[in-house]
Structure 1
Amino acid sequence: MSEDKYPSESGRRRFVKGVVGSAALAGVGVGGASSVNLATQPTGGGGGPTPFVGITNTGGPAPRGMPYIPLELDDEGYLRGVWPEAETVTEAGQTYDVARTELGGQTYSSEWFQYCGRQQAAGVQPAADQDNYFQSVGSPSYNWQAEELSEGDRLRLDHFEDYETWGNEIGDEGVGKPAETTWRSQGTEGVLPVTLIRSKRIEEKANQGGEVGEWYSAASVQGTIAYLNVCTHFCCVPGYKDSPDSPQYNAENGIYCQCHQSTYDPFEPSFETFIALPRPD
Structure 2
Amino acid sequence: MSDDKYPSESGRRRFVKGVVGSAALSGVGVGGAASINLATQPGGGGGGPTQYVGITLLGGPAPRGMPYIPIEIEDNGDIRGVWPEAEQVSQGGTTFQVAETEIGGQTYSTEWFQYCGRQNAEGVQPGTEADNYFLSLASGDTAYDWQAEELSEGDRLNIEHFSDYETWGNDVGDEGVGKPAQATWRSQGLEGQLPVTVIRSTRIEEKAQRDDEVGQWYSGASSQGVIAYLNVCTHFCCVPGYKESTSSAQYNAENGVYCQCHQSRYDPFSPEFGTFVSLPRPD
Calculate the TM-score normalised by the size of structure 1.
0.93
Partner of 1:6: none
Equivalent position SS for 1:267: strand
Cα distance in structure 2, aligned partners of 1:95 and 1:70: 27
Choose which of 267, 271, 276 in structure 2 pairs with 1:269.
271
Structure 1 contact 12–260 (Cα < 8 Å) conserved? no
Are 2:115 and 1:115 equivalent residues in the alignment? Answer: yes
The AA in structure 2 aligned to 1:117 is G
Give me the whole-angstrom Cα distance separating, in 2, the residues matched to 1:241 and 1:33. Answer: 35
Following superposition of structure 1 onto structure 2, how do residues 105-144 of structure 1 map, counting pairs within 5 Å? 105-138=105-138, 139-144=141-146
Q: Does 1:249 align with 2:251?
A: yes
Question: Distance between the aligned counterparts of 2:14 and 2:191, measured in 1?
Answer: 22
**CA 1:18/1:157 → structure 2, altered by over 3 Å: closer, same or farther?**
closer
Q: Which residue of 1 aligns with 2:12?
A: 13
- Given the two structures, how large is their TM-score scaled by the length of structure 2? 0.93
Q: Deviations over 1:174-228 (max 9, x none)?
A: 0000000000000011000000000000000000111000000000010000000
Shift of 1:98: 1.1
Match of residue 70 from structure 1: 70
Percent identical among aligned pairs is 73
Q: State the distance in 2 between where 1:29 and 1:109 align.
A: 19
For each residue in 1:135-169, what CA deviation from the matched residue of structure 2 results, as whole angstroms up to 9, or x when unmatched? 00112100000000000000000100000000001
Question: Contact (CA 8 Å) 2:13, 2:238: kept in 1 or not?
Answer: no
Does the aligned pair in 2 maintain the 1:23–1:234 contact within 8 Å? yes
Task: Report deviation, 1:33.
Answer: 2.6
One-letter identity of the residue aligned with 1:144: W
CA change 1:14–1:140 in 2 (3 A) is: closer
**Using a 3 Å threshold, how does the CA distance of structure 1 residues 85 and 216 change in structure 2: closer, same or farther?**
same
State the partner residue of 2:154.
152
Distance 1:259 1:272 in 2: 24
Indicate the RMSD between aligned Cα atoms, in angstroms. Answer: 1.6
Query: The residue matched to 1:97 in structure 2 has which SS?
Result: strand
Alpha-carbon offset, residue 110 of structure 1: 0.5
Aligned-partner Cα distance in 2 for 1:43–1:245? 43
Q: Please say if residues 133 and 154 of structure 1, whose CA atoms lie closer than 8 Å, have aligned partners that are also in contact.
A: yes
Gap runs ≥5 in structure 1: 1-10
Cα distance between partner residues in 2 of 1:15 and 1:79: 27
Q: Go from structure 1 to structure 2 and tell me whether the alpha carbon gap of 1:89 and 1:18 turns closer, same or farther (over 3 Å shift).
A: closer
- 1:43 shift after superposition: 2.4
In the TM superposition, residue 69 of structure 1 has moved relative to its aligned partner by 0.2
Contact 2:18/2:116 (8 A) holds in 1: no
1:193 to 182, 191, 195: 195
2:4 maps to none
Instruction: Identify which range, 118-127 or 36-45, moves more after superposition.
Output: 36-45
What is the identity, as a one-letter code, of the residue corresponding to 1:184? R
- C-alpha deviation, 1:91, in angstroms: 3.6
Structure 2 gaps, min length 5: 1-9
Q: Which amino acid aligns with 1:266?
A: P
2:71 counterpart letter in structure 1 = L
Relative to structure 1, the CA distance from residue 116 to residue 208 in structure 2 (aligned partners, 3 Å threshold; closer, same or farther) is same
The 3 A distance-change label for structure 1 pair 13 and 131 is closer
Conservation of the 8 A alpha-carbon contact between 1:15 and 1:259: no
C-alpha contact 2:13 2:239 (8 A) present in aligned 1: no
Aligned to 1:3: none
Residues in 1 aligned to 2:42 and 2:254: alpha-carbon distance in whole angstroms: 43
